[in-house]
Amino acid sequence: MANPKPSTPVPAPVHKVRKAVLPAAGLGTRFLPATKAQPKEMLSVVDKPLIQYVAEECVASGIEHIIIVTGKGKNAIEDHFDSAPALERFLEDHGKKDLAEMVRKITNMVQVSYTRQKEPLGLGHAVLVARDLVGDEPFAVLLGDVIIPGPRPATRQLVEVYEATGVGAIAVEEVPREKTHLYGIVAGDPAPQPPWGARLQRIRDLVEKPKPEKAPSNLAITGRYVLPPEIFDCLARTKPGAGGEIQLTDALRILAQERGLWAYIYEGVSYDAGDKLGFLKATVEIALQNAELGGDFRKYLKSLQL
Ligand code: G1P
């Protein structure tokens, strides 16, 4: 059979999106020294580690099984999702049933499996490492240093696009031109259709971290993806790209050409919490929305008279 026309969506038989891959093997160099002996995914925004925000987004998006790709020095992530009987007993013995329940909920919220990326060969390679655990079904990818709080998670929105069209979808958002070198950038053609309207674009091309003058647009990849299993063959054919690493963005280019891929301008706000300023913004805004602390925190910020 002849190859389909580049960028023409080729719907595959649609299966429910049950699994998610969370790459968490990176060294977190943007956040040193905090990440010298601590995984960046365990940095806490207000009262929860970043990886828990991401796991909660998975659960709210219908995901049943999370696969975390770890590396050296990441044991704290496994401990966080593991059961903690001694801690639960202590809390119950001291009349803190609510806290004991909260700790138990983290353990029981979703099935979690772990696999290891043995060498830092890039984000694309980290996703490829999860191939056997994902198997022959569609899956989500969520980057652990991006948090997108809100009632309708970005991953849920992508799952809806995938399950309705049978074509993979990635979340994108506009960024200032001078920042294109920090993101994967997409070139797309508007493909409006109900119920998504102009939020949907058919991807023509993707470039990882282009300089502003080489960027095909200012639509950046946010760190949320829903992909068909064919992405694994694309990854296996992907040569090292930007930074000498096997880039997920380069494999997505192959997928877009061979099977089609949507860019979806998701509804919501993302924080790049793997970056110090992004982390501070996330902390302030999420603290302001916190039921327990928000009021006092707002008063405190106002008192600073900046
Ligand atoms: C990764 C991806 C990039 C994406 C970004 C979103 O880059 O490679 O395409 O735009 O995440 O945060 P990283 O930030 O890991 O360098």
1-5 contacts, C-beta under 8 A, 24 or more apart: 3/258, 4/258, 4/259, 4/260
- Residue 255 neighbours by CB under 8 Å, 6+ apart: 168, 227, 228, 230, 231, 234, 261
| pLDDT at res. 27 | 85
From atom 5 of ligand 1, which residue's Cα is the shortest distance away?
183
Question: Is 19-303 a domain of CATH 3.40.50.2300?
Answer: no
* Closest atom of ligand 1 to CA, residue 274: 14
- Measure 182 CA to ligand 1 centroid, in angstroms: 7
Instruction: Map residue 19 onto helix, strand or coil.
Output: strand
The Cα–Cα gap between 236 and 154 comes to 27
Ligand 1 pocket by Cβ (under 6 Å)? 123, 143, 146, 183-184, 208, 220-223, 247-249, 272
- Measure 222 CA to ligand 1 centroid, in angstroms: 7
Query: What single DSSP character describes residue 137?
Result: S
What are the start-end ranges of the H helices in 225-275? 231-236, 248-259
CA distances to 28, 54, 59, 218, 254 from 66, rounded to whole Å, are 21, 10, 9, 31, 25
* Closest atom of ligand 1 to CA, residue 208: 9
Whole-structure pTM over 0.85, yes or no?
A: yes
* Closest atom of ligand 1 to CA, residue 220: 10
Give phi and psi for 197, each to the nearest 5.
55, -140
| pLDDT at res. 4 | 46
Block mean pLDDT (10 aa), the chain, length 306: 52 82 91 92 95 95 96 93 92 92 89 94 97 97 92 95 96 96 95 92 96 96 97 97 94 97 96 93 96 96 88
CA atoms within 13 A on the CB side of 96: 11
What are the start-end ranges of the H helices in 139-218? 154-165
CB 17 within 8 A of CB 140: yes
- Measure 14 CA to ligand 1 centroid, in angstroms: 27
Token representation of residue 138 = 């569609």
Domain boundary assignment for the chain: 19-303
CB 134 within 8 A of CB 66: no
Residue from 69, 174, 221, 253 whose mutation best tests the ligand 1 pocket (most atoms within 8 A of CB): 221
| pLDDT at res. 7 | 57
